[in-house]
Structure 1
């Protein structure tokens, strides 16, 4: 940011996240996690649609980078976003201490101590929905991108019962169960896709 420029939403979200991280690392508030802030970098993603945050580890220089979603910052209230920051701090701490991180028992224990969610709530509606076609199965999955199972549902099976499923373009309500159905729906919707 240059002199005279107003801070952006990304600047604001990182500033607030850094302040909260300092409080957590120093034990100044309700939470404490001895994460090394000197080996932590911050950035904001304007593209993220489903992840509120992520933590990436550069093992060669032993630096964790926390990536925060601008859309999540816009949609969450501060307590919910602060919980996302604590969630990502647990990942950073695990990377710094053990060289790896996941959502296993160690993560779950630390996240619980910090009142951080094990998984963050969705902040955007999915673009696609997969739904089992079997009468006795209520399996459903949400997708934000046109993945292979979205584009060719006839090549995959239900995650619960192994039956066939259909894909739905959520905003239009149109469904398909084959690769050609996907192509036809996309062509029909045109700019509405």
Structure 2
């Protein structure tokens, strides 16, 4: 890891901890900040944050994505921190967390979104090959439908699927096409 990455990670953690204290104080939130651990992920591509619960230790770990911090303005990233604080609060109070009614009520009070805007461009686009169907989905990783689209059908019309590698524009509709595109692109994959 570079010194620059460490500096950015330190900044993320410091700002997130300060914001968490402000949220707790401002809203009178009964949240034990000492029972929250903080981490930064340099690998996350889709998820701006997550909250894990270690029931044995009764500790929540909030993991924040460096890429999201780099792409969002602070106000949007601070909202991610508040979203994860709601999860931490639920874990501390109830031992579980989700995005249900209880979550939504506190999230609304803290002005935390239920979902966060994507901060990374998708690597793959799946499309229906049906003539009159506009169904499409994006993927960041080579999931099973990306690797073997011939085994799957469109959920809207039942048509066959095609996958596009966004950076290269290469497309395939079978496992052999995936392997061929990957081999042809080599380091550009």
Unpaired runs of 5+ residues, structure 2, are: none
Match of 1:34 in 2: 30
Unpaired runs of 5+ residues, structure 1, are: none
**Cα RMSD (Å):** 1.7
Report the TM-score when normalising by structure 1. Answer: 0.91
1:8 aligns to what SS in structure 2? helix
| Distance change (3 Å), C-alpha of 1:6 and 1:130 | closer
Counting only pairs closer than 5 Å after superposition, residues 25-174 of structure 1 correspond to structure 2 as 25-27=24-26, 31-174=27-170
Displacement of 1:67 after TM fit?
Answer: 0.1
Rounded to whole Å, the distance in 2 between the matches of 1:104 and 1:159 is 26
Is residue 20 of structure 1 aligned with residue 19 of structure 2? yes
Deviations 1:63-94, CA, capped at 9 Å, x for gaps: 00000011111111100000000010011111
Displacement of 1:53 after TM fit?
Answer: 0.5
2:37 aligns to what SS in structure 1? strand
Rounded to whole Å, the distance in 1 between the matches of 2:146 and 2:136 is 12
| Distance change (3 Å), C-alpha of 1:48 and 1:6 | closer
Rounded to whole Å, the distance in 1 between the matches of 2:116 and 2:45 is 13
| Distance change (3 Å), C-alpha of 1:133 and 1:60 | same
Report the TM-score when normalising by structure 2. Answer: 0.93
Give the count of matched residue pairs. 186
Q: Which of the pair is proportionally richer in helix? A: 2
2:93 aligns to what SS in structure 1? helix
Query: Residue 126 of structure 1 contacts residue 170 of structure 1 at CA under 8 Å; is this kept in 2?
Result: yes
| Distance change (3 Å), C-alpha of 1:33 and 1:167 | farther
